[in-house]
Amino acid sequence: MPAPPRNLSALLHELGVGSVVWYAIAVGLPFLLWGARRVDLTHERRRRTVLVVLGVLVALMIVTAATEFAVAYRGAPRKPTFVQYLPTALRETMLPWLAAAGIVVAVEARRRSIRAALERERLRAEVAEQRLIALTGQLQPHFLFNTLQGISTLIHRDAEAADEMLAKLSDLLRDVLRYRHSALVPIEDELRFIRTYLEIAHLRFADRLTFDIDVMPGVADAAVPLFILQPLVENALSHGIGGRARGGHVRVRAWRADDRLSMEVSDDGAGMPNGAPVHEGIGLSNTRERLRATFGEDQRLVLDGRAGGGSVARIEIPYRRHAAPAVAGAGAGP
């Protein structure tokens, strides 16, 4: 067995530190990493790519061997030919270059894996957003039909009120259409839509309807699904106070508790039948689906009766600040 190295210099020499091959690898490694990023690994070109990579490695080994030959035998009176020296040099350079190639493959594989994961996540987010936009698109015609039906009823008994309702409907649709390509909106915009919607309903119900909107300070930038409160308000109007001769009051609230955002729509109408199952129409079913698509299981929609009469619908979701993307049509004239 060989004797142990006498000093650090001898140890480094035995490990190959300072030899030409390690300098060659230090110089060539950045270029190998650069080239690995441009390698096409599609099925059609995989065989060709493997052959090219093997050719590059063999070429690097030969160039390294030639450099070692020139350095080792420089000025020597007697030396073998390069062809005689080549087999020995290849044996010495093969393992280091294969190790360097393995490092490059591992680094590039990890980079591509991370990039693929990010791309899958981006596509998943895009698909989820488009699904939410589609769900919102299903809701808007339903809301529009109900509102136009109210205008049709009103126009025969109060043309001026019907005209005002049409104007408010136009304003509401203009605002909502600005976000037609967005799944989430700031809650301050959502509440502005709901206020306009309730003003339209007030023209329909006249003095039979009163409402108020109570928002906790500091939550205006919270992100919520577009028009998420409209079905709850519509439910309160239709099933809560719509059938009562004396009408009633609708209250909309929003508040934050730690990292949770709560939104509530309540009315003082007839309330919910004791023990009877709650029938959910298109609006409420759509709302549950949109909440599930946006927040997964980290959300809650509860419909319940109030102790003093009436019903309450409450949504609880994670508090997230709205990212304020570019809104299609923002700043455009009517």
Instruction: Please indicate whether residue 205 or residue 136 has the higher confidence score (pLDDT).
Output: 205
Tokens of 95: 């393992």
Q: Residue 9 pLDDT > 80, yes or no?
A: no
Instruction: Output the pLDDT for position 39.
Output: 76
Q: What is the identity of the amino acid at 222?
A: A
pLDDT-based confidence at 274, cuts 50/70/90?
Answer: low
Q: How many CB atoms lie within 10 A of CB 189?
A: 19
- d(CA 103, CA 124) in angstroms, rounded, equals 31
Tokens 């009823």, located at residue: 153
Q: Per residue in 232-265, pLDDT tens?
A: 988 888 777 766 667 789 999 999 999 999 999 9
The 311-318 sheet, strands edge to edge: 209-215, 248-257, 260-267, 311-318, 300-305
Where do the H-state alpha helices sit in the chain? 8-15, 20-36, 46-72, 82-154, 159-177, 187-205, 230-235, 282-295
Q: What are the boundaries of each domain within the chain?
A: 8-118, 129-318
Enter the CATH code of domain 129-318. Answer: 3.30.565.10
Query: What is the pTM for the complete model shown?
Result: 0.56
Q: Residue 204 pLDDT > 80, yes or no?
A: no
pLDDT-based confidence at 305, cuts 50/70/90?
Answer: confident
Q: Name beta bridge partners: 248.
A: 209
Instruction: Output the pLDDT for position 5.
Output: 62
Helix axes 82-154 and 159-177, enclosed angle (nearest 10): 180
Q: What is the largest CA-CA distance in the chain?
A: 118
Among 37-46, 208-217, 224-233, 325-334, name the one with the lowest average pLDDT. Answer: 325-334
% of the chain exceeding 70 in pLDDT: 77
- d(CA 301, CA 136) in angstroms, rounded, equals 17
- d(CA 294, CA 280) in angstroms, rounded, equals 20
pLDDT-based confidence at 334, cuts 50/70/90?
Answer: very low
Picking from 181, 310, 295, 195, the residue whose alpha carbon sits closest to that of residue 243 is 310
Q: Per residue in 56-115, pLDDT tens?
A: 888 888 888 888 888 777 777 788 888 888 887 787 788 888 888 888 888 888 888 888
- d(CA 251, CA 264) in angstroms, rounded, equals 8
